[in-house]
Amino acid sequence: MSERIVELLKKKGNFVSGEEISREFGITRAAVWKKIKALRDKGYLIEASPAKGYRLIKTSELSVEELRTLIKGDIGREIVFLESVDSTNSLSMELADKGSQEGTVVIADSQKKGKGRLGRTWVSPPGVNIHMSIIMRPKMEPKDATLLTIMAAVACVTALRRATELQVTIKWPNDLMVSGKKVGGILTEMKSDPDRIIFAVLGIGINVNMDMKELPPDVRPIATSIKQETGEGQSRTLLIAEILKEIEHWYKVLHKMGRAPLLDEWRVLTSTLGREVRVTVGEEAFTGMAEAIDEEGMLILRLPSGALKKIIAGDLIILR
Ligand code: BT5
């Protein structure tokens, strides 16, 4: 119903009395006030005048309606928006399994069971961050799935740099970093046959307007948000639109020109290469120089012995 109240305020473009809203939706004046308050909490700017009623001044900084007007390409042509969901990735995997088309984007204001890699939790409070997943049906072999994470990372960093001028970088394999802290993360999941990806889901979480106190104490020292770094809030709508535009661009490049341009761009945007790092892979840990990424997005580490070690995925800490 909140959305319909917004519609009414938009349509009138001026003050609408509480009485008219209560009549229109068959709710009490007190309930109208409650709904208006909830909308304000979500970021809508609504003026309230005891004499004249309510007037919409600005829509929420996360507005799917506005997002739809900004999307021109195939990625995001279909948008599923939820106030709250367990995980946008889990829902997208279900939707893809039921046949949802490539480019469908699932966005949630908050997640109850936001997922990181390896069963970890992604903290996803309401009203502040980006939680979205994109369904893709790439003609690719499963061994190349890392390219999708690479594509999402390049798209996010490009969009974030453009919107904020922050020096956002990619930390291999899936972290978006600012000033050595994590501002976002990517989780790619897929369903595949041995030789082809049936569908993949690109999950993107970005801390936009979050205050650090919303994070549990153990995550706080390693994390940051756009607002924390710039002192200013950002429109999640505009950021999402920019990210989707960048994904559209890189997905086309990947199709037309192969993986080389994408990998080259990743190399420009990463803060990992040329650094002394420690990578934990399950029970094992490797220390060495992060020398390169290969054609499949694997990290090539130069070990102290001089030998090279290829790593598909792991947790990386930059030592020097
Ligand atoms: C990731 O995992 O970085 C992948 C995060 C992907 C989240 C998106 S949100 C939309 C979509 N739907 C989902 O359910 N997931 C995706 P990983 O590299 O494993 O990092 C997880 C670790 O980051 C946690 O163990 C915490 O230490 C830390 N962390 C958790 N929440 C954070 C947050 N909001 N900001 C920064 N760090 C966080």
Q: What residue has token string 């956002």?
A: 168
Are 140 and 252 contained in the same domain?
yes
The minimum-distance atom of ligand 1 relative to the CA of 185 is 3
Are 310 and 241 contained in the same domain?
no
Q: Among 58, 74, 104, which residue terminates a domain? A: 58
Cβ neighbours of 182 (radius 10 Å): 17
Distance, CA 168 to ligand 1 centroid (Å)? 17
Q: Among 23, 38, 58, which residue terminates a domain? A: 58
**pLDDT at residue 311, rounded to an integer:** 94
Domain count, the chain: 3
DSSP character string of 237-292? HHHHHHHHHHHHHHHHHHHHH-SHHHHHHHHHHBS-TTSEEEEEETTEEEEEEEEE
Instruction: Report the C-alpha gap between 107 and 100 in whole angstroms.
Output: 15
* CATH code at position 40: 1.10.10.10
Across the range 66-85, mean pLDDT stands at 94
Q: Does the CB atom of residue 116 touch ligand 1 within 6 A? A: yes
Are 246 and 112 contained in the same domain?
yes
Distance, CA 266 to ligand 1 centroid (Å)? 20
Q: What percentage of the chain has pLDDT greater than the value 70?
A: 99
Are 28 and 105 contained in the same domain?
no
Instruction: Report the C-alpha gap between 108 and 134 in whole angstroms.
Output: 12
Across the range 278-300, mean pLDDT stands at 95
pLDDT beyond 80 at 266: yes
Are 46 and 72 contained in the same domain?
no
Are 131 and 239 contained in the same domain?
yes
Domain that holds residue 254: 64-269
Across the range 27-47, mean pLDDT stands at 87
Are 16 and 87 contained in the same domain?
no
Q: Does the CB atom of residue 149 touch ligand 1 within 6 A? A: no
**pLDDT at residue 286, rounded to an integer:** 96
The minimum-distance atom of ligand 1 relative to the CA of 181 is 36
Are 95 and 227 contained in the same domain?
yes
Are 155 and 298 contained in the same domain?
no
Q: Do β-strands 181-192 and 175-178 pair in parallel, antiparallel, or remain unpaired?
A: antiparallel
Q: Does the CB atom of residue 207 touch ligand 1 within 6 A? A: yes
Are 93 and 238 contained in the same domain?
yes
The minimum-distance atom of ligand 1 relative to the CA of 118 is 19
